[in-house]
């Protein structure tokens, strides 16, 4: 599975659930203004 994902350009990393929560928070903070400004939606 790792090889298949790497071949598609994914970089797999490991970590704790706390690390993952931190990543999600930082990505949300980064992209929220863009989403608000553009009005992007998931349909």
Residue 34 included in any domain: yes
Residue 1 included in any domain: no
Residue 43 included in any domain: yes
Mean pLDDT of the chain: 94
The number of beta carbons lying within 10 Å of the beta carbon of residue 2 is: 8
Query: What percent of the chain shows pLDDT beyond 70?
Result: 100
Residue 3 included in any domain: no
Q: Is the pTM of this model over 0.85?
A: no
Q: Alpha-carbon distance 26 to 9, whole Å?
A: 21
Q: Alpha-carbon distance 41 to 38, whole Å?
A: 9
Six-digit token string for 32:
């929220």
Under a CB-based contact definition with an 8 Å cutoff, are residues 12 and 6 in contact?
yes
């Amino acid at each position: 599975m790792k090889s298949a994902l790497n071949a598609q350009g994914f970089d797999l990393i490991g970590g704790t659930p706390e690390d993952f929560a931190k990543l999600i928070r930082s990505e949300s903070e980064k992209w929220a203004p863009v989403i608000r400004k553009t009005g992007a939606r998931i349909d």
